Amino acid sequence: MKKINHHIDELFKDMPRNTETEMVKQEIIENLEEKVFYLMEQGKEEEDAINKAIVEFGDIEDLKKELGVKEPEKKSMAKLNLEFSLWGSGLIAAFFIFINLYYTPNTIWAIYPIFAILWWPLSMYFVWSRKKWSE
């Protein structure tokens, strides 16, 4: 029944280790083992009985809610995109300023592509602020 123990350990890996979860875990293992023995008495092979018991058990999302396990919050991609756009546009602007000053110091042309590049972080700011206020 190592397969059942391994499967239940995988299901409970994100849950906190305390006496309540350990008791629930042991109870589930016992119930699954009883189900396997029952299926074997009905004529199933051991491997088939184990697989059928695991499949019929399903997932433990309801049990996680009952035990008070909170799902980890996902990081907002909008904020990450905003930070990336700020750094990216800053580096591109620095590149244009360097090229402008190195090759044509008497003509200031770098301001035009810099204005175009600034739309990138501006649009990411509006996406981030819309997601922030909608939550």
Alpha carbon separation from 60 to 12, 13, 14, 24, 115 (Å, rounded)? 9, 12, 11, 11, 53
Question: Looking at the 3D structure of the chain, how many domains does it have?
Answer: 2
The pTM score is: 0.50
Tens-digit pLDDT string for the chain (135 aa) = 788 888 888 887 777 788 888 888 888 889 888 988 988 898 888 888 888 888 888 777 777 777 666 666 666 788 889 999 999 999 999 999 999 999 999 999 999 999 999 999 999 999 999 888 876
81 and 58 share one domain: no
- The answer to whether residue 33 is domain-embedded is yes
Domain that holds residue 95: 77-134
Residue with tokens 């004529």, as numbered in its chain = 43
pLDDT at 73: 62
The one-character DSSP state at 68 is: T
pLDDT at 135: 65
- The CA distance from 58 to 119, in Å, is 48
pLDDT at 122: 94
- The answer to whether residue 9 is domain-embedded is yes
Of 67, 100, 122, the one marking the end of a domain is: 67
pLDDT at 75: 63
